[in-house]
Amino acid sequence: ELKSFEGDPEQPDRFGNTGAWSMIQDHQSRIWLATNQGLYRYEPQSGDVRQYKYNPADSSGLREKVVYAVFEDLDGKIWVATDSYFSRLQDERDGRFSHHRYNYKAHNPDPAFPTIFQDVRGRFWLGTRNGLLRFQPGRKSFVAYTYDPRESTGLSNNVVRSICADPGEPERFLWLGTHGGGLNRLDMQTGVFTHFTTRDGLPNDVVYGVLADDLGHLWMSTNKGLCRFTPQTGEMKNYEASDGLQSNEFNSGAYYKSRSGELFFGGIDGLNYFHPGQLSDNPHVPHVVITGLRIFDKDVHPSKKNTVLRKVISQARDIKLSYRDEVITLQFAALDFSAPFRNRYAYKMEGFNTDWIQAGSGRTATFTNLPSGDYVFRVIGSNNDGVWNTQGASLKIHIASPPWRTGWAYALYALVTLGLLYGLRSYEMNRLRWKNRLQMERVEGEKLRDLDQLKSRFFANISHEFRTPLTLIVGPLQQLMERLADEESQRMVGMMQRNARRLLQLINQLLDLSKLDAGKMELYLRQGDLVSFLRGVLTSYEALAETKKIDVCFTAERESFIMLFDHDKMENIFHNLLSNAFKFTPDRGKVSLALAFPGSAANPAAVVVTVSDNGAGIPAKHIAHVFDRFFQVDEGCGEGSGSGIGLALVKELVELQRGKISVQSRVGMGTTFTVTLPVERAEVVMAEQAKKEPTEFNPETPVPTFQEDGRENGGIVLVIEDDLDMRAFIRTVLHEEYEVLEAGDGREGVEKAEASIPDLIISDLMMPKMEGCELCRVLKSDQKTSHIPIILLTARAAAKDKLGGLQAGADDYLIKPFRSDELLARVRNLIAVRKKLIASLGKKALLSPSELAVTPVDQAFLQKVREVIEHGMGDEAFGVETLCAEIAMSERQFRRKLKALTGQTPTQVIRSMRLRRARYLLEQNAATVAEIAFQV
């Protein structure tokens, strides 16, 4: 009998007048309904209805109007869930409830619509729109499980529609149906969630209801049919409307399991109920056949003319295809017609695939660009309930090779490959022969370059060694020249001096060549008048021209021309060219030097200088070699022969200045050298330009002016030189005016300097044990010797060598060979300048050390002397001995050091500072005369 409860608008609380959210039958067969008007209890036998509704004035009743879920626990007590509370009906008669408010953070503002479940341990689980809640009655608190996209083992969706205990392990696992997150399994011991979605076989990820049958299966209603899931195996079987469902879509909350085991699921088009034990699977194993063949998407039918298929393909055991059949499609079917659209297939092409390819319900397999060879196509299928025919069907397929992959083709390939290998081998052997030949040539070239560098280093080293002996030749000759009165003797000595200077010129040329080879030759550009400069170079040959009656001609397109050029290198270039011109021009011949300025008159691009003569000329076969090193023309070239160095040096010096040089000559007619140099203006001067000091000995170089006679003042000069003859020569030059001390190496020199405190030190640059620059640094950093002037003697004439010596602390730098009177003048000047400075500032030295001291070490020394005297002047026992002890010097060292810096003895300095102190105290009226006398 069907009984209906009709609603009445005039009685809003009447049973049946409101929508119902949830309904249960308790252990007394009473019906409980959760509705929009609260909770109803209906007794079918008597027809009595009791309403429990929300009353704001009754705190023991329901706290909210709408009740969404009702549940009977294991003890037979009724629980209800509202939007905010989980409440227990304590007393049915007076309607008294106990309430527990949810304590989770709501992520969804819509009503909770909870579903209630109690596990075997008595804990309650509530599925809501804001996650899963666990409530333990004894603790009266909630534990929330919510969705976190960063957590892979958490809840997969916050909307939990249904909860069900695991049929096999209800004490450990719960199954949750979510709205969009599929099916979740919760391990209640670890709190870990496992997810099952459409990737695992679910028809849809929206799960409304989850029920467990008595056979150990789970049944789920979704938005796309019904699913049966076996937890032990993970197997899922889906049912659709074609299987008898009311539709593929079900409703939330519309699921129920009766006491007899029947399952009820409600959907949008009605209700489905069934007993799982009465359902059976289709046991039929379907026969699988291959039904068709398509090539390039065209059906292939059997015929006599068809070379591919001569009978129905389901009966064929093998087929042969051309290599041109690049796209083939095979069709197949499982012969089970219960629900053919639910039959499933899997296939593979043995020889191409290693694993089975799941085709689902699709009945075709397409392959493209299969390589030539033999294959076996296999296909298996199942019926609608998943019963598989594992034997399936098979077809052998042979794909013919293209012509370029046949045996004859490979034989041809082998022949071609062998021919290529032979050709490559021959080419490689020829390449190796050429490589070895080039390697040998390179090795020979390197040997030649090494030999050339060795020769250049030899010349450089021997040239340096020559400078010291030349000093010992030129110096004594100069002294001898000044003492000789006999004209014939003077002529002979003068000839010796000229040849010594010629030897020095050759040495300098060899040094310049070695610098060019080492890449260390640099340009030092200075602004000057090139016309006047070259006129002056030519003028130096007037005496020679007058002797040989040679006509000298100088022409220039301009009166003057200001440009940047390296004066020393320019002088070297044109001295060599003019020297050769005068050498090879006969008496009464002609030598000319001409300057031209091609280009615009305001801004010429270059300077062209020609040096011409009408001498013997150079044979045509030798012209190409005149600029080679050490090349000499032995025939028909006038008097004498050169060293073969000058013109080679000229060419490299011209190229160093980015210029060019050329020569024209005819035997008996003369020779013309043309030098073309780019114009260097001041605005393009090189960043590293510097004015270069003269580097070679020049007998016409003015001797520094003698300023004070050293014989009147005397002094001690320490000579540090490893060459015994050079020390003897310097002692000869200086002994008449100075006391000369000697040391044979740098270390001995430092020891003698500290012991004797000389007035000046003369030191060689290159010495054993300690070289000159290091000696300068040691002496200038020592408080006892920092004030002593130092003159460095060296055969190294480069500007950077001189700069290095000066930076090390040297006061002067003299290049070997040097004139004896030049050395004496430099010694006199350094000592005289020092004495004049002391005479003018010596009395102020202790008051202002920075005005007199030339080094920071001297300044510190004078400052310390002043401080020691000021501190000890009140002590009547304070004297020279105490002062020397405080300064940490011997009395002799201290006396010479202080005398050199201030011109006063230690006693005079102490007395002077005491008097200055007394004068200051008297002027300030700081004490009586007796008291001041006692203080100072």
Over range 109-122, report the average pLDDT.
Answer: 82
> 686-722 pLDDT, tens per residue?
333 433 333 333 433 333 333 334 344 468 999 999 8
Rounded to whole angstroms, how far apart are CA atoms 565 and 561? 12
Higher pLDDT, 877 or 854: 877
Is this prediction's pTM over 0.95? no
> 536-585 pLDDT, tens per residue?
889 888 888 888 899 999 999 999 999 999 888 898 899 889 988 998 89
What is the per-residue burial (b if ≥16 Cβ within 10 Å, else e) of 644-668? Answer: ebbbbbbbbbbeebebebebebeee
Contact 146, 129 (CB under 8 A): no
Q: Which of 357-366, 441-450, 468-477, 511-520 has the lowest mean pLDDT?
A: 511-520
H/E run at residue 361: none
3-state SS, residue 266: strand
Predicted pLDDT at 935? 56
DSSP sequence for 526-577: EEEEHHHHHHHHHHTTHHHHHHHT-EEEEEESSS--EEEE-HHHHHHHHHHH
Over range 66-83, report the average pLDDT.
Answer: 94
> 302-355 pLDDT, tens per residue?
876 766 888 889 889 999 999 999 999 999 999 988 788 889 999 999 999 999
> 615-658 pLDDT, tens per residue?
888 888 888 888 887 777 655 444 445 556 788 889 988 998 88
Q: Largest alpha-carbon pair distance within the chain?
A: 171
Rounded to whole angstroms, how far apart are CA atoms 745 and 470? 21
Contact 646, 630 (CB under 8 A): no
Over range 468-489, report the average pLDDT.
Answer: 76
Rounded to whole angstroms, how far apart are CA atoms 478 and 728? 16
Q: Which of 28-37, 318-327, 517-526, 785-794 has the lowest mean pLDDT?
A: 517-526
CB pairs under 8 A, 24+ apart, for 140-148?
A: 140/100, 141/103, 142/86, 142/100, 142/102, 142/103, 142/104, 144/103, 144/104, 144/105, 145/186, 145/191, 145/193, 146/104, 146/107, 147/181
Supply φ then ψ for residue 520, to 5 degrees.
Answer: -105, 0
* CB-CB neighbours of 566 under 10 Å: 22
3-state SS, residue 698: coil
Contact 730, 740 (CB under 8 A): yes
Predicted pLDDT at 693? 38
Confidence of residue 683 (pLDDT cuts 50, 70, 90): very low
Q: Are strands 670-678 and 716-720 parallel, antiparallel or unpaired?
A: unpaired
The whole-chain average pLDDT of the chain stands at 84
Predicted pLDDT at 682? 44
CA-based end-to-end distance of the chain: 141
Predicted pLDDT at 466? 73
Q: Are strands 670-678 and 660-666 parallel, antiparallel or unpaired?
A: antiparallel
| Strands ordered across the beta sheet of 812-815 | 739-743, 716-720, 760-764, 790-794, 812-815
Amino acid (one-letter) located at 164:
C
pLDDT at 845 > cutoff 60: no
Which of 288, 298, 286 lies closest to 378 in space, CA to CA? Answer: 288
Confidence of residue 174 (pLDDT cuts 50, 70, 90): very high
- Chain-centre distance of CA 846, in angstroms? 57
Residues forming beta bridges with residue 815, ordered by sequence position: 794
Name the CA dihedral angle for 457, 461, 466, 467, rounded to a multiple of 10 degrees.
Answer: 110
Predicted pLDDT at 687? 34
> 243-254 pLDDT, tens per residue?
889 999 999 889
3-state SS, residue 99: strand
Tokens of 544: 């020679």
3-state SS, residue 29: coil
- In order of 166, 228, 869, the CA distances from 231 in angstroms are 8, 10, 106
**Helix ranges, 181-233 (H):** none
Rounded to whole angstroms, how far apart are CA atoms 298 and 795? 101
Contact 103, 148 (CB under 8 A): no
- In order of 123, 159, 280, 790, 832, the CA distances from 714 in angstroms are 119, 114, 136, 17, 10
Q: Which of 94-103, 336-345, 461-470 has the lowest mean pLDDT?
A: 461-470
Predicted pLDDT at 932? 57
> 150-164 pLDDT, tens per residue?
999 999 999 999 999
Contact 177, 207 (CB under 8 A): yes
